[in-house]
Amino acid sequence: MDLKLKTNKPILVVGSGFSEKVNTEDFFVLCSGKCLYSLDYADVVVSLDLIRIIHNISNFRKKWGIHLVPHRITNEQWFGSSSGIMQRRSGEVVYLKSPVHSLMFWRPDEFIHLNKPKGHFDNLSICCDSLSYEEANETINFSKFRVKKFLREDTTSYNDFAIKDGVLRNNSSSIHLILNLLWLNKVEKIYTLGVTEDHYSWDTTKRLMDMYNINYERL
């Protein structure tokens, strides 16, 4: 896909540590799929997990310009505290952060038979159970929801993060993919919300911003 970003607005990156309603119309907003519920609109949303992608499409499909989905989609995080999407014994699904937004057009376990274990796909390393964009698309029809595919690689090597080959790389965080995308677009200044030192991936996040010479200011 075309990874070029076009905007004259200041760049705002919103991570999962943010949960308050805020007006972001003065910014070009890139966010992780997990925090989309708290925003009125995001220009770019990035998600790795099938349950998050399904939940976003089911509830927030009018909130984004583009929703980026990887060529290999993680499908091992289902209902539970980590996703914030719970299933009660009655079968009712509840999104804890905003129960009114609890629709699920499809269930992640409907796709489990398509999962492949971690390995290399298109010569790119994927560190978890995943299914292909194309396999998921046969049921979901991504084109209806302004979804675009990107090439994803999971890595712990900082040398890999410095490769310019059109692949977005991460170490268990969609924020890393966003930073990678901003670096490829030569962005040097960003504002952040919910990108916090409390997150388990902060050390990598901070090191990437330093490596990419991206200055950040928290709002």
Whether residue 55 lies inside any domain: the answer is yes
**Using an 8 Å Cβ cutoff, are 177 and 170 in contact?**
yes
Q: CB within 8 A of 159, min separation 6: which ones?
A: none
Whether residue 130 lies inside any domain: the answer is yes
Look up tokens 């396999």; give the residue. 135
pTM for this entry: 0.94
Q: What pLDDT score was predicted for residue 3?
A: 81
pLDDT mean over 69-84: 87
Whether residue 3 lies inside any domain: the answer is no
Q: CB within 8 A of 3, min separation 6: which ones?
A: 150, 166, 168, 181, 184, 185
Which has the closest alpha carbon to 76: 120, 117, 104? 117
Whether residue 179 lies inside any domain: the answer is yes
Q: Which residue range(s) make up the domain with 186?
A: 11-218
**Looking at the 3D structure of the chain, how many domains does it have?**
1
Calpha distance 59→52 (Å, rounded): 11
Half-sphere exposure in the Cβ direction for 21 (13 Å, CA): 3
User: Which tens digits make up the pLDDT trace of 25-64?
Assistant: 999 999 999 989 889 999 999 999 999 999 999 999 999 9
Categorize the per-residue pLDDT at 1 as very low, low, confident or very high, splitting at 50, 70 and 90.
Answer: low
Whether residue 159 lies inside any domain: the answer is yes
Calpha distance 102→96 (Å, rounded): 8
Categorize the per-residue pLDDT at 83 as very low, low, confident or very high, splitting at 50, 70 and 90.
Answer: confident
